[in-house]
Amino acid sequence: MKRTREDLLDDDPITLKEACDLLLRGIVSVSALRAEIRRGNLTVERIGKNLYTTPAHIRTMRLKCRVVSANDILPEVTAGIADS
C-alpha cells in the first residue's frame, strides 16, 4: 500500500525518499537531505542500514534552513550596498 501525505502522523518514520516525494513534493532530492543531515539541520534515525526521519523533523529542518534576510543569502553583495 502506497502512503500519502494525509496518512502520515508527525512521528511516523519515513525514508528520505518518501520525505522527498510526500512532504517536499520532489523539489528536494535525497542527496540534499543527506547534506542537511551532515549540517545538523535534519534529525534522522538509523534502523539497520536505512535512515528514517519524520514529518515533524522535516518541518524543523525547514525552519532551521529558513533565510530571513538578503544578508543571509549574499552577504558580500549586500555589504557593498550598505556601504554606499
Which pTM does this prediction carry?
Answer: 0.78
> Which residues, 6+ apart, have CB-to-CB distance to 11 below 8 Å?
54, 56
Domain ranges within the chain, ordered by starting residue = 5-83
Q: Are strands 14-15 and 50-53 parallel, antiparallel or unpaired?
A: antiparallel
Return the pLDDT at 78.
53
- The yes-or-no verdict on residue 82 having pLDDT over 80 is no
| pLDDT tens, position by position, 9-32 | 999 999 999 999 999 999 999 999
3 within 8 A of 18, measured Cβ to Cβ: yes
The better pLDDT of the pair 4, 68 is held by 4
Q: Are strands 50-53 and 45-47 parallel, antiparallel or unpaired?
A: antiparallel
> Which residues, 6+ apart, have CB-to-CB distance to 35 below 8 Å?
none
- The yes-or-no verdict on residue 51 having pLDDT over 70 is yes
Cα separation, 80 vs 84, whole angstroms: 7
